[in-house]
């Protein structure tokens, strides 16, 4: 039918634009034209890609340009220096240890805090301060008031000025804070080959991995693996980011003698001192969990009471039936 129409008639129909079929028709014509041209170019491309000569020359070109680039600059283009990655590049991630205070209802092991304090005092306190902990904080946690007072009195504190304006030394009191091993940062650095032993009060919170990290650090000293060079005065520890730490291994079996007879192995001392430091960073820990239990009990009771009250109050309202008695229009 269409073939019998003249070109003029055809144009006329298209120019009206009102007929649906004419728009469809012109659309399909354009599509077929596009298709024809794509087909032509793709077949040309295919024949080029399929030719072995083209493939061989492209490979040669690639290899040649890479060879030229590496010859010129000494490295591969777009590839950073390749080196074997090592455990200590980012710090070996510590394992998750089953701390006895880990669960939501668990308190600290206070006997362990007491042993941990002993390890801190006898080993770590030679280099690390514990600025935020006062003697009084130990009372009722790891020591009795008399024990804490006796320990405080062994330390001399600067006080004053007295009536003559002089500073004087006096034995410590419960209100005094733990004595620091160095008077200032410079002294601490010069005593440790330039490295600053950080204050340990909040160290468990201040390090990624917390207690697990500190425990792994204290027990993780090993010989540097083949190919890793450690400067003099530095020590290799895969848990420390970078691997080279200024602090040497400090815990060795039998270093302290526990008063409760616990065998003082390296891992036992590390566990105790980390429990102590964990308490130092979170002294509110036990109370917080107690409050948590109380809050859950109280709020869940209140929740059930409020449900009951709601049903009780709304019961009559929701169950009532409202009738509408239309007035009798009989008069």
Q: Does residue 130 interact with ligand HEC by CB under 6 A?
A: no
Stretch that binds ligand HEC, among 28-36, 154-162, 245-253, 257-265 (CB under 6 A): 245-253
Q: Is residue 167 annotated as involved in ligand binding?
A: no
Cα–Cα distance measured from residue 96 to residue 216, given in angstroms and rounded to the nearest whole number: 10
Helices (H), the chain: 7-16, 20-50, 52-73, 110-122, 135-138, 145-153, 185-190, 203-206, 210-219, 266-281, 285-319
CB of 290 vs ligand HEC, minimal distance in Å: 28
Which residues partner with 244 through β-bridges? Answer: 236
Nearer to ligand HEC, 174 or 255 (CB): 255
Q: Are 79 and 246 in contact (CB under 8 A)?
A: no
Q: Are 255 and 123 in contact (CB under 8 A)?
A: yes
Q: Does residue 148 interact with ligand HEC by CB under 6 A?
A: no
Cβ atoms within 10 Å, residue 38: 10
Q: How many residues bind ligand HEC (CB under 6 A)?
A: 22
Nearer to ligand HEC, 152 or 200 (CB): 200
Q: Which of residues 270-329 bind ligand HEC (CB under 6 A)?
A: 273
Q: Is residue 247 annotated as involved in ligand binding?
A: yes
3-state secondary structure at position 244: strand
Q: Which of 173, 250, 265, 282 binds ligand HEC (CB under 6 A)?
A: 250
Q: Does residue 134 interact with ligand HEC by CB under 6 A?
A: no
Cα–Cα distance measured from residue 114 to residue 127, given in angstroms and rounded to the nearest whole number: 20
CB of 94 vs ligand HEC, minimal distance in Å: 11
Nearer to ligand HEC, 94 or 172 (CB): 94
Stretch that binds ligand HEC, among 61-69, 123-131, 168-176, 314-322 (CB under 6 A): 123-131
Stretch that binds ligand HEC, among 242-250, 257-265, 278-286, 306-314 (CB under 6 A): 242-250
Q: Residue for token digits 């049903």?
A: 311
Q: Does residue 265 interact with ligand HEC by CB under 6 A?
A: no
Q: What is the largest CA-CA distance in the chain?
A: 128
User: Which residues 6+ apart lie within 8 Å of 211 measured at CB?
Assistant: 97, 99, 204, 274, 275, 277, 278
Stretch that binds ligand HEC, among 157-165, 220-228, 238-246, 281-289 (CB under 6 A): 238-246
Q: Does residue 192 interact with ligand HEC by CB under 6 A?
A: yes
The CA-atom distances, in angstroms, between 216 and each of 128, 249, 260 are 18, 12, 25
Q: Residue for token digits 């001392």?
A: 269
CB of 91 vs ligand HEC, minimal distance in Å: 8
Q: Are 172 and 154 in contact (CB under 8 A)?
A: yes
Which chain residues interact with ligand HEC by CB under 6 A? 119, 123-124, 126-128, 192, 195, 197-198, 203, 207, 214, 217-218, 240, 245-247, 250-251, 273
């Amino acid at each position: 039918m269409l073939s019998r129409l003249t070109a003029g008639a055809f144009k006329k129909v298209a120019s009206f634009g009102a007929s649906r079929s004419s728009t469809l028709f012109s659309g399909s014509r354009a599509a077929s034209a596009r298709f024809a041209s794509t087909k032509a170019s793709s077949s040309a491309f295919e024949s080029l890609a399929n030719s072995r000569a083209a493939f061989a020359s492209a490979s040669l070109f690639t290899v040649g340009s890479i060879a030229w680039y590496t010859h010129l600059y000494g490295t591969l283009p777009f590839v950073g220096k390749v080196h074997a990655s090592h455990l200590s590049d980012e710090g070996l991630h510590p394992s998750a240890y089953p701390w006895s205070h880990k669960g939501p209802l668990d308190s600290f092991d206070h006997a362990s805090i007491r042993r941990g304090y002993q390890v801190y005092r006898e080993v770590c306190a030679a280099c690390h301060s514990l600025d935020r902990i006062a003697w009084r904080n130990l009372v009722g946690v790891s020591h009795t008031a008399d024990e804490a007072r006796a320990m405080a009195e062994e330390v001399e504190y600067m006080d004053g000025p007295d009536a003559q304006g002089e500073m004087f030394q006096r034995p410590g009191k419960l209100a005094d804070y733990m004595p620091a091993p160095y008077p200032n940062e410079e002294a601490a650095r010069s005593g440790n080959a330039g490295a600053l032993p950080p204050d340990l009060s909040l160290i468990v919170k201040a390090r990624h991995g917390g207690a697990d990290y500190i425990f792994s650090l204290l027990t993780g000293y090993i010989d540097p693996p083949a190919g890793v060079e450690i400067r003099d005065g530095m020590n290799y520890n895969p848990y420390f980011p970078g691997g080279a730490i200024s602090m040497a291994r400090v815990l060795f079996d039998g270093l302290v003698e526990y008063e409760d007879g616990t065998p003082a192995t390296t891992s036992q001392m590390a566990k105790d001192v980390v429990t102590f430091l964990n308490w130092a960073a979170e002294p509110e820990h036990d109370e917080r969990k107690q409050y948590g239990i109380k809050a859950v009990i109280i709020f869940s009771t209140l929740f059930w009471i409020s449900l009951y009250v709601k049903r009780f109050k709304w019961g009559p309202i929701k169950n009532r039936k409202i009738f509408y008695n239309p007035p009798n229009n009989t008069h």
